[in-house]
Amino acid sequence: MHHFAVNRQGKLCCEEYPLEEIARQMGTPVYVYSHATLERHFKVFDEAFSSIPHIVCYSMKANSNGSVVRTFARLGSGADIVSGGELARAIAAGVSPKKIVYSGVGKSVPEIEEALRRGILMFNVESREELERINVIARRMRKRAPISIRVNPDVDPKTHPYISTGLKKNKFGINIRQAVEDYEWAARQPGLEVVGVDCHIGSQLTELSPFVDAAKRVRRLVDKLLAKGMPIRYVDIGGGLGIRYNDESPPSPKEYAKVVASVFQGLDITLILEPGRVLVANAGALVAEVLYTKKASPDSGKKERWFFIVDAAMNDLARPAMYGSYHAILPVGKAPARRVTADVVGPICESSDFLAKDRVLPLFKAGDLLAVMGAGAYGFSMSSNYNSRPRAAEVMVSGNRCEVVRERETIRDIFRKERVASFIKGSGVKR
């Protein structure tokens, strides 16, 4: 469910605001987020878990724009962070440190120190060496670091290999069988306080069974740790619930919550959830303008094919290039009736620079606008300056209001941090 729809004049709108209008005011490419969709998604997800004590810790990597994070924080969300940058953003957006969980295989010393200073809820620790390092740092700071171990349950999430994390061969977490020993070690360290167990098996899961398998394995570990007298208060089952980009039929948050909550029935724990995509993906669209169209050279006997070259590219939305992901393409204005098979591609010099492949689309012409749907998650947050392209603007819509939530980058922004090495001839010449 989202708030992008065609109005009576045939124009695609975000809530009540025509995307055409946004493109006119802001230029393209531009990310457009619906505030109502964000709120609705958070509430639906949160309410699905109402039968059990829980904290929804929004996984900021999906979309770390301050207005997005603040929207969730105001509804009571915590944050799942993976860097010092996300910690700073979460706090700036009003997330309580007591609701921040810190995941990731490579936390640096300054990042650990800052998280300890802020008093976060817990570190989701991914290796024995990380446990040791956190212990040393916490002792030096005369603190006890609340920790859970991210266990790797060796469950196949049946999703794209690049976004599977819960298999033995993945770099994430500590093998669930090895974990008891590491917990026992951690429990003896003066700088560590064992508070929870954590697990995250992958992203864009469209079936319930991997979640259930992983949850059951985690439950067995929790029972074992409790029997050993460890005060496990939090069970973090990560994120990963998939959405519908095309023809997937992922479980609803309600179905997901029901099976997960039932596994932890009877335990005196607070469940932690780390949803990212399911909260933001369908709340965002990337609006682009068609720069050129051209016919592809015909394969013998095959139907005609077109390229629609747009001003958004893989630096703006990397998902199709990285994972071959599907994003629906919708016309923003009145679409021409004739439909053709086409690839929607960007200006970047790579053949993987496409936003859509082999789609039946209206025969767009230069100057037409189109919307790349489902772009609210892992869209802007994965964008880059590749090919020295300034990153897109981001706007948020609420009803009939539309505001800029991140200005478009300028060309100047792109090389602001660069210096010319003094040993290069002519380096003294002013630009």
Kindly tell me which of 275 and 284 has the beta carbon lying closer to ligand LLP: 275
What is the distance between the alpha carbons of residues 254 and 251, in angstroms, rounded to a whole number? 8
202 phi and psi, to 5 degrees?
155, 180
Provide the minimum distance between the beta carbon of 157 and ligand LLP in the complex, in angstroms, as a whole number.
10
Of 90-98, 221-229, 270-278, 423-431: span binding ligand LLP (CB under 6 A):
270-278
Q: Residues 277, 327, 359, 391: which binds ligand LLP (CB under 6 A)?
A: 277
Q: Interface with ligand LLP includes 173 (CB under 6 A)?
A: no
Kindly tell me which of 308 and 378 has the beta carbon lying closer to ligand LLP: 378
- The secondary element (H helix, E strand) that includes residue 193 is strand 192-198
Of 272-280, 308-316, 334-342, 351-359: span binding ligand LLP (CB under 6 A):
272-280
Kindly tell me which of 171 and 365 has the beta carbon lying closer to ligand LLP: 171
Residues listed for the chain: 431
Q: Residues 130, 274, 289, 353: which binds ligand LLP (CB under 6 A)?
A: 274
Kindly tell me which of 291 and 382 has the beta carbon lying closer to ligand LLP: 382
Kindly tell me which of 145 and 205 has the beta carbon lying closer to ligand LLP: 205
Q: Residues 37, 64, 67, 103: which binds ligand LLP (CB under 6 A)?
A: 103
Kindly tell me which of 319 and 359 has the beta carbon lying closer to ligand LLP: 319
- C-beta separation of 153 from 199 below 8 A: yes
Provide the minimum distance between the beta carbon of 325 and ligand LLP in the complex, in angstroms, as a whole number.
7
Which amino acid is it at 403? Answer: E
How far is residue 379 CA from its own chain's centroid? 8
What is the distance between the alpha carbons of residues 204 and 278, in angstroms, rounded to a whole number? 9
- Residues 279-308, one symbol each (x = binds ligand LLP by CB under 6 A, - = not), give ------------------------------
Kindly tell me which of 309 and 321 has the beta carbon lying closer to ligand LLP: 321
Q: Interface with ligand LLP includes 42 (CB under 6 A)?
A: no
Footprint of ligand LLP on residues 223-252 (CB under 6 A)?
238-241
What is the distance between the alpha carbons of residues 168 and 187, in angstroms, rounded to a whole number? 25
Provide the minimum distance between the beta carbon of 208 and ligand LLP in the complex, in angstroms, as a whole number.
14
Q: Interface with ligand LLP includes 204 (CB under 6 A)?
A: yes
Q: What b-and-e string marks burial along 75-104, b requiring 16 or more CB atoms within 10 Å of the CB?
A: eebbbbbbbbebbebbbebebbbebbbbbb
- C-beta separation of 370 from 329 below 8 A: yes
Residues 6+ apart with CB under 8 A from 113: 137, 141
Q: Interface with ligand LLP includes 374 (CB under 6 A)?
A: no
- Residues 334-353, one symbol each (x = binds ligand LLP by CB under 6 A, - = not), give --------------------
Kindly tell me which of 32 and 279 has the beta carbon lying closer to ligand LLP: 279
Q: Interface with ligand LLP includes 99 (CB under 6 A)?
A: no
Instruction: Tell me the catalytic residues.
Output: 349
Q: Interface with ligand LLP includes 62 (CB under 6 A)?
A: yes
Q: Residues 41, 217, 319, 359: which binds ligand LLP (CB under 6 A)?
A: 319
Four-point Cα dihedral 245, 17, 39, 44, nearest 10: -50
Four-point Cα dihedral 260, 263, 265, 269, nearest 10: -70
Query: How many Å from the N-terminal Cα to the C-terminal Cα in the chain?
Result: 50
What is the distance between the alpha carbons of residues 123 and 116, in angstroms, rounded to a whole number? 9
Four-point Cα dihedral 58, 63, 69, 71, nearest 10: -100
Which amino acid is it at 38? Answer: L
Q: Interface with ligand LLP includes 59 (CB under 6 A)?
A: yes
In the 8-state DSSP scheme, what is residue 164? B
In the 8-state DSSP scheme, what is residue 105? S
Kindly tell me which of 26 and 93 has the beta carbon lying closer to ligand LLP: 93
What one-character-per-residue DSSP string does 376-398 give?
Answer: SSSSGGG---GGGPPPPEEEEEE
Provide the minimum distance between the beta carbon of 7 and ligand LLP in the complex, in angstroms, as a whole number.
30
Q: Interface with ligand LLP includes 383 (CB under 6 A)?
A: no
Helical segments of 201-327, H only = 209-227, 253-263, 277-280, 319-323
Q: In whole angstroms, how far apart are CA 200 and each of 23, 103, 134, 207?
A: 38, 10, 21, 15
Q: Interface with ligand LLP includes 203 (CB under 6 A)?
A: yes
Q: Residues 276, 284, 374, 376: which binds ligand LLP (CB under 6 A)?
A: 276
What is the distance between the alpha carbons of residues 17 and 174, in angstroms, rounded to a whole number? 48
What is the distance between the alpha carbons of residues 64 and 62, in angstroms, rounded to a whole number? 7
- Residues 118-157, one symbol each (x = binds ligand LLP by CB under 6 A, - = not), give ----------------------------------------
User: Which residues of the chain form contacts with ligand LLP (CB under 6 A)?
Assistant: 59, 61-62, 80, 103, 163, 165, 200, 203-204, 238-241, 274-278, 319, 323, 378, 382
